[in-house]
Amino acid sequence: MASEAEKTFQRFAVFGESSSSGTEMNNKNFSKLCKDCGIMDGKLVTSTDVDIVFSKVKAKNARTITFQQFQEAMKELGQKRFKEKNPDEALGNIFKLMEGKDPATTGVTKATTVGGVSRLTDTSKYTGTHKERFDESGKGKGIAGREEKTDNSGYVSGYKGAGTYDKKGH
């Protein structure tokens, strides 16, 4: 039975990493976990501290940490975050912060149609030749909305004698 901390670790380990099995976590998700769970408070524990601790606990040329290494990292961050507690109590407090937490997607960039886009796509404000290409409801008229239709008669544009060639006379 995985502990609450381990479950949280797994949820963050797979966040945004479709290939992750949840047993190892990269630095980006480690920072996210620290931020979302309130371990990184911006005063006692900063993003720099989190990065340094991550680099310290991971294997020399590895890019991820295991849950075991994660616990070491949390012990170290716990001592920074809860200075007055002994290391084990601090770790306990860190794990309490992590309980039941999921990777937050608030503040993540969403596609929006704000100001600029809606102004550009409002067909009622179109002028000139573009105006002719939409009906009153703003729906495009397609090829019918184009003034110049392609002439596929085989004659070049501007040729005065178009359609006068007599095929059978030769």
Summarize pLDDT for 79-126 with one digit per residue, the tens: 999 988 888 898 888 888 888 888 877 655 555 555 566 667 777 777
- Secondary structure of 74-107 as H, E, C letters: HHHHHHHHCCCCCHHHHHHHHHHHHCCCCCCCCC
Residue 170, CA atoms < 13 Å, CB-side half-sphere: 3
> How confident is the model over 44-86, as pLDDT tens digits?
999 999 999 999 999 999 999 999 999 999 999 999 999 888 8
**Quick one: 103 exposed, middle or buried, by C-beta within 10 A (0-12, 13-18, 19+)?**
middle
Give the architecture-level CATH label for domain 4-98.
Answer: Orthogonal Bundle (1.10)
- Residue ranges per structural domain of the chain: 4-98, 115-145
Nearest-angstrom CA–CA distance, 61 and 55: 10
User: Strand pairing partners for 65?
Assistant: 25
Tell me which amino acid residue 66 is.
T
